[in-house]
Structure 1
Amino acid sequence: MKKFFLFLSMVALTVAGLSVNAQASPKDNVDLAAEVYYFNYEEPGFMEDTGMFYGLAGVYTRYFSSFLGQNATVEDDPFLLQFDGRFAFGIVDYTSVNSGSLDGINDFVFEGRILGGYEAALGKMTILKPYTGIGYRYLNDDSSGEITTTGHAGYERESNYIYIPVGVDLVTPITTSWTFGVNVEFDIFLYGRQKSHLGDAVAGLNSVENDQDQGYGARGSLELRREDENFDIFIEPFVRFWHIDDSDISPITYGGVLTGYGLEPENETLETGLRLGLNF
């Protein structure tokens, strides 16, 4: 959790610093949206979590001409920085081959990204925007204090991913006031850490931390946007996917005495949903 709050603070300070030291470009803009999506997390052959998530998302786009002040030219505008964040919470149901089932588990997720991109014109109206950057995703799944149908006690689990997004946006007008956009992204998985608070289930057990270094992600969306003088309205169906391989193996102790070893099994996460928002 300390890393989580440190990341938030760093992003907030960065944005604040840019705002103070730079003059806004007319193209700078903000997206604010609500999103709802179906969440499916599966460890094949072991367990599955499913449920609905509800959240808020925001994107702040700042063009490089903002940093050049009054000497900026139109040619400087294609380069941009983007600060992208979202928060969502959900209630998931757990089913397992060996430990029964449990409904109504509280989950929440945070994701933050810093991206750099370039806008290129395709023809007179269509815009292509390749981008890359760095991303961080935190997921908390807390079944502590709960008992499954087979009498197994739940515990809190924390998931951390660091990754490099590599993607492209394509936007084209379909009328004078409507545009259609497509986003495709591949996520290069750099590092993951899973923390399982086993002491929530059995007092005396340690919290096991497993490192992950193999996996990948992918995501995509379609966007329909109505442009207006004051603000735009958009609707965006999306899909997000992660595949992560087996983690390393870490010791499990009881009262400081080694009792075994544990790992985070190979797993997949699929999120499919809809985002509705404003741009201004």
Structure 2
Amino acid sequence: MTNCMENAVIRKVLILVALTIILPGSALAQQEHSSMLLKESSMVIRDSIASFDFEAGGEEVEGLMHGPAVTYTYHDAYYPLMARGEFEIMFGSTDFKRDGGSSDSDDIIINARGLLGYDILYHDNLVLTPYTGLAMRYWSNNVSGARDQSQSYYYIPLGVETQSSLMPTVDFGTRLEADYVFNGTATTDFEGDGGRSGKADNDLDFGYGLRASVYISKQFEAVGLGLEPFVRYWNVEGSDGDWVRRNDGTFENFSTQRGETLIWGASLTVHF
């Protein structure tokens, strides 16, 4: 990934960090409000649209992706604990670029996450929740007339979120998270691409991710509506090797190279 893209990630994260620090403090400076920040059981349904950019070893995949997600959160009534389950699917038509050429491709991303956190309440108007858990990410990229590839890996999220009440029916929140990738697999089906045939299965042993978002929601009588801009970044190291057959009958020890992914966009949310 170019330095420009890395700088873009840093700028977006710094802006969201500043919002994390400044805006909840501004809310506390107002008159305290009774709110539903620690509602025992809640569900959020979201529809997201995002810019997607993946780069690895001279290859690039970029385009727009969109899709739904559902989040269920439980806050214990007696102990300050939070439990959450998340499922998200995004898909889109992208451009696959290599060696100065471009091909159409189709992408799917699936995220499944289970989180546990500890709720810390300040002045009845600000909730700080550090959390961790276990999560899985799957990405598939199918290139028209060329190879198909997919990556799936497990990771441990370490994050913190804030929730504050700006007024009785308006809530504001932020999320900052770092992710540790500890196990994964990259699968490449060559279909003759690059003079190779067959399929390679490569182990992914290490990587990390960063994600940040801010949201604001308005509560109506039955449901709440909100907006949540977000940015996500992944950096996954290259893999070990796997032997694949070349079209001339010889074998090659194929490995994937370090890949970086930048996703940024916004979600429309419905709160129950």
TM-score (norm 2): 0.81
Of 264, 270, 276, 2:262 maps to 270
Find the residue that maps to 1:229 and give its secondary structure: coil
Among residues 37, 40, 51, which one is paired with 1:27 in the alignment? Answer: 40
What's the counterpart of residue 167 of structure 2?
175
Residue 136 (1) aligns with residue 149 (2): no
CA distance in 2, matches of 1:275, 1:94: 25
Q: How far apart, CA to CA, are the structure 2 residues paired with 1:256 and 1:120?
A: 63
Structure 2 Cα separation of the partners of residues 204 and 214 of structure 1: 26
Q: How is 1:236-275 mapped onto 2 (pairs within 5 angstroms)?
A: 236-254=228-246, 258-275=250-267
The CA deviation at 1:203 is: 9.4
Identity of aligned residues (%): 26
Cα deviation, residue 175, structure 1: 1.8
Q: 1:21-170 maps to which residues of 2 (within 5 A)? A: 27-43=40-56, 46-64=58-76, 74-76=77-79, 78-96=80-98, 98=99, 100-144=100-144, 146=145, 154-170=146-162
How far, CA to CA, are the matches of 2:42 and 2:250 in structure 1? 55
Q: Does the 8 A contact of 1:221 with 1:237 survive in 2?
A: yes
Taking the aligned partners of 2:187 and 2:73, their CA distance within structure 1 comes to 34
CA contact 2:55–2:259 (8 Å) conserved in 1: yes
Segment drifting more, 158-167 vs 249-258: 249-258
Alpha-carbon distance in structure 2 between the residues aligned to 1:86 and 1:120: 27
CA distance in 2, matches of 1:218, 1:112: 16
How far residue 177 of structure 1 moved from its aligned partner, in angstroms, is 1.6
Q: Which residue of 2 aligns with 1:151?
A: none
* Highest RCO, 1 vs 2 (Cα 8 Å, sep ≥ 6): 2
**SS of 1:134 mapped into structure 2:** strand
**Compared CA separation, residues 219 and 265, structure 1 to 2 (3 A):** same
Deviation at 1:226, TM superposition (A): 0.9
* 1:216 lines up with 2:229 in the alignment: no
Task: Measure how far apart 1:204 and its partner are.
Answer: 7.7
Structure 1 CA distance for aligned equivalents of residues 140 and 158 of structure 2: 25
Q: State the SS of the aligned residue for 1:174.
A: strand
Amino acid at match of 2:40: K
How far apart in 2 are the matches of 1:55 and 1:26?
Answer: 26
Runs of 4+ in 1 over 4 A off after TM superposition: 254-258
